Amino acid sequence: MVFALKLSEAKENLTDAVSDRSEMLRDLKAELGRANLQVTIDEKNGVLRLGEDAIRFETARVEPRAPTLKLQHDRVLTLLSKAFSEVLPCYSIEPPGRCTRAGKSSKSDLRLDVLLIEGHTDSQPCGPDCNRRGNRGLSTERAVYIMGRLIDEHPDLANIVNRNREAVLAAAGYGEKRPLVTDSPGAPNPKNRRIDIRVIMEVPSGDEGLERGAPVSVKQKLIRSLED
């Protein structure tokens, strides 16, 4: 009977955590929309997506060289870091008391565990300019670059941690391995060239998790995602 009650509470907590994740994504989209930065969100998979219309990379490069792209990156990453700085504390375990948005708080005991910045490319080989890193290496470098720029803009983002005292911001690259749409031979689809920001909430883990919503470690999640 006790186990059944704990299981019921855990399921309810998970439902609330999914609701929190969706609300967080909607908050971020609305905040960015007010600054005329259009992004898409995938509530089912917990993703905020920056396509090429939001942020564009030059072929085989990480940091932009063209002045117009530099201006685009500066604007987009400034707005994104500001939105993160305002919204993420309302769904995080630490640091406490940082949420300044009226009426915003987590419904669940399960808080933000990881905010994973994912780099993705199309299926076009990145060519000799990539040396041996390939598309996966290139996409990883872009994701790390985005994360670094966000922290440069708002250093407080580096202080947002999960229940395990691990920084919630993380980065990974998948190259062409996770396309949104299938590339046609000789005609890579630009929709696959993107930055995804994946929101991962805590999940109950074993008996301890049923009692207090213990998170799966960031390392475990990243290993699983990189093995996909």
CB atoms within 10 A of CB 36: 8
Contacts 24+ apart (CB under 8 A), 2-9: 6/210, 6/211, 7/210, 9/210
pLDDT in tens for each of the 228 residues of the chain? 544 445 455 566 667 788 999 999 999 999 999 999 999 999 999 999 999 889 999 888 899 999 999 999 999 999 999 999 999 999 998 776 678 765 555 666 778 999 999 999 988 888 776 766 799 999 999 999 999 999 999 999 999 999 899 999 999 999 999 998 887 777 788 888 899 999 999 876 654 443 444 444 444 544 454 445
State the Cα–Cα distance between residues 148 and 63, nearest whole angstrom: 12
Return the pLDDT at 103.
56
Domains and CATH numbers, the chain: 2-227 (3.30.1330.60)
Helical pair 67-87 and 134-153, crossing angle rounded to 10 deg: 60
Model confidence, pTM: 0.82
